[in-house]
């Protein structure tokens, strides 16, 4: 009796299982961010999603980017979001409706974009299986930033300065009896 050949199912390695768990954490907490009614909870899940993305960077051997992600996103941007949430605390009650009336259209648009992107990813022959290096990246990034990318680096500092001044001016309370 001739049995049909059993298809050769690839066994996932430890690295792939770890990536799967990390991706599940990222996607699940991102879904919680956009669906929870309590904005404070969704901000906390956003911090979890940022931490998971830092783990994804570690899988890509991007050590500097992973640390920068934790420092800037989890450390700075999340604190900024929390401050804004607490300053606008009247909208934080969980009984408030959080979605606009046309949320079904929004879901349809995002699923449509997802279908297009996944179709592109699956159908395109990437053919990139070059074995990547696992050298530390921080020294190379520093050298590149101060030689090849010096002008963008300086422009980024100007962008940050302008954003800081703009944020202070926008958030400052203008008193009517202020002579200035």
Partner 1 sequence: MIPLEWYLGLSAVLFCIGIYGVLSRRNAISILMGIELMLNAANINLVAFGRFLQPQVLSGHIFTVFVITVAAAEAAVGLAIVISVYRNWQHINVDEIDLMRW
Q: How far is the CB of 137 from partner 1 (least distance, A)?
A: 6
Which member of 60, 146, 150, 154 binds partner 1 (CB under 8 A)? 60
Contacts of 141 (CB under 8 A, 6+ apart): 64
Is 62 one of the binding residues for partner 1 (CB under 8 A)?
yes
Is 86 one of the binding residues for partner 1 (CB under 8 A)?
no
Q: Cβ(31)–Cβ(45) under 8 Å?
A: no
Q: How far is the CB of 61 from partner 1 (least distance, A)?
A: 7
Pick between residue 6 and residue 67 the one whose CB is nearest to partner 1: 67
Instruction: Give the span between the Cα atoms of 29 and 42, in whole angstroms.
Output: 8
Which member of 39, 51, 55, 74 binds partner 1 (CB under 8 A)? 39
Orientation angle between helical segments 14-35 and 39-59, nearest 10 degrees: 160
Is 163 one of the binding residues for partner 1 (CB under 8 A)?
yes
Pick between residue 5 and residue 141 the one whose CB is nearest to partner 1: 141
Q: How open is the CA angle 128-23-137, to the nearest 5 degrees?
A: 55
Q: Cβ(65)–Cβ(56) under 8 Å?
A: no
Site residue total, partner 1 (CB under 8 A) = 86
Q: How far is the CB of 4 from partner 1 (least distance, A)?
A: 27
């Amino acid at each position: 009796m001739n049995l049909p050949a059993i298809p050769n199912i690839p066994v996932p390695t430890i690295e792939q299982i770890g990536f799967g768990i990390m991706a599940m954490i990222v996607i699940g907490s991102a879904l919680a961010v956009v669906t929870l009614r309590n904005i404070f909870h969704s901000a906390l899940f956003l911090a979890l999603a940022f931490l998971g993305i830092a783990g994804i960077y570690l899988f890509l051997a991007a050590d500097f980017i992973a640390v920068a992600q934790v420092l800037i996103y989890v450390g700075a941007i999340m604190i900024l979001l929390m401050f804004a949430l607490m300053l606008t605390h009247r909208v934080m009650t969980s009984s408030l409706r959080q979605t606009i009336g046309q949320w079904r259209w929004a879901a349809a648009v995002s699923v449509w974009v997802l279908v297009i992107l996944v179709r592109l990813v699956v159908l395109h022959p990437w053919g990139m299986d070059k074995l990547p290096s696992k050298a530390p990246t921080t020294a190379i990034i520093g050298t590149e930033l101060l030689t090849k990318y010096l002008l963008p680096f300086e422009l980024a500092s100007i962008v940050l300065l302008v954003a800081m001044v703009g944020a202070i001016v926008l958030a400052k309370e203008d008193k009517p009896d202020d002579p200035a």
